[in-house]
Structure 1
């Protein structure tokens, strides 16, 4: 929305919104309410810099709210009222920050006025003299979260009743626009699924790519766009035509896109999973690597982007070949690799479990590597593991990092990020750079 302007851009939620078990409520309703209010808002059409909001309603944050200008977490207070924890000042790029909580609870009826108060403070104090210091994350960092929160609270009180309080009817009017499929009453374990369990290829895909749905008898299916040796996140026109047909047949015509650069079919009956798997396998879209080491996020890099300093796609392709063995990937477990070809961080390398940043040194491509980052409810920035390495050595270093993790984890279930958190960077750095 409003691309290229210094104004409100996207208001996003996660790709499982409305169907994920355990959600407080459907966050898309609130995303739409905020989008309607902020798009083409005359007071905020010339902010110091672009502005993005993300909303989650689940315990596990798939919307990456802590790396947005404003992050909103739906929850209920002690009185059972639905509202938002409000976080401010997240962002990546050349100066990354994790958002901080500015208000533990703002009721749903007051969320528009509170967001306006934040935007007014940002509009007044945000830097317009330096594009590199113009984002709200810099203002929050320079003022401090306590001072920024005080300014917002004072502005919020001074606004008084400006007609932004949301009544029940207004919320329900937007809610009525979000229709849900005509779900059937289906068994939890249909015969089709029991029979397909004898197929090891189907079972590997099911355990990796199929996730719980809030309605019994249905599943959320993630389609991996990360084939071995292929550009991550790519799909051909023919594949997308076919996926659209499969969505019509198996997911009530709905396809969703996540920031992990994969697709999701949010309403698949469990009885249809075997047939869907066969169709996806024929299309090359049944790679069982969702959330594993080859499910890599990468920007276009130097191959396609004039801002980039180094290539991203060939690094990702080589890593998928190095870790192509599915048994090895399962042994490693959940591990996210994110690659950016420049400091603008379009590949979100700062919050990758392993982050790879391309830099230029004397006309050659080098790569800085960080470990321990994450973008979920426990979001944190990765830590630089050592000196930048040349293009030809990147895949070797990543292999060494993974081998160090496998040797250092205290049990098979301990995830890479948990091992890094427990031990710190140094034990892994020692193993990786010992022979370099």
Structure 2
């Protein structure tokens, strides 16, 4: 998982009217006007008459989230859609502008995604003492904190992403991995404390940053937050206990194969998945960081002559994983990423090419985790149990119509037991 994130510096803050959730600030240097024009090109904001500020105005209730499809139960014999989830750990907008870029990529390819926000990305460096990480001194964070400009930029991207139908989850706060107080050693109480702080930083970013005239995030984070991925995929056992107590609906911190997920004690287990690794006899987790470690070790900027090859390996591995699900058991494909330019940005290029290649295919739905669990919850449990009997890449032997019809399909003509042909 990511352990380094750098944020752009700056102090220009654009005033935005709270009621409209869109650009209407002013500025003597013209920044307000430019921001207003840019905002006008974005999706329409929530209606003004449903905006109700929460707390200090960092968040607001604005009604139901736009652009969420209504989940429908599969009809008997119907082939399941192919779900693909693109998700981002520690989502934030910095000088690389990768958050805003992939929002655009998603819009252009009929996709929505999940952005796992690190709470400390909404906490300025000078207020770092407000963070009390479990088993660490106050003000510690393995990924640092942010500045006012970085907070303003990140909030803007989160606001627009949600209005476009994307999900805002959590990647918690300080990203502590390994021994010596890492998340793998945390108790259930530690996790609940960390989650409470992650929520608090989202719900108080205006106060903590001093950006009091900016538009709020257009959602109630206590209700929006339904799932997470733990740092380095560690600490899952106690995190999931805390998550169930707090009403979460899913976890995506495990490791598994490309098979249909199951719900365990009310929590959907949506693990990171193993996909083919071109040129190797073993498979790799469908995440940029894991491909990088297998290619260049912990060096984030390895041999430039190999960057294209490494990116192609990730792209082709994800596409091979997609194809074996799409033509096989139709299990949802879970892909994890970071807004990082590791090895020259080759993994960002790979992910973008995968989005463009798969999200516009027939029967494919590139969705957030929220949309996936909404669909899973709408299905007949017996249908999901039947889907879980299919192995990796395994298509039903007699076709989907027979497999999910609830009754066996008639035998093909000309074989023993087939209906007699009419003369």
> Normalising to structure 2: TM-score of the pair?
0.28
Q: Which structure is higher in RCO with an 8 Å CA cutoff and minimum separation 6?
A: 2
Using structure 1 for the length normalisation, give the TM-score.
0.27
Q: Decide which structure has greater strand share.
A: 1
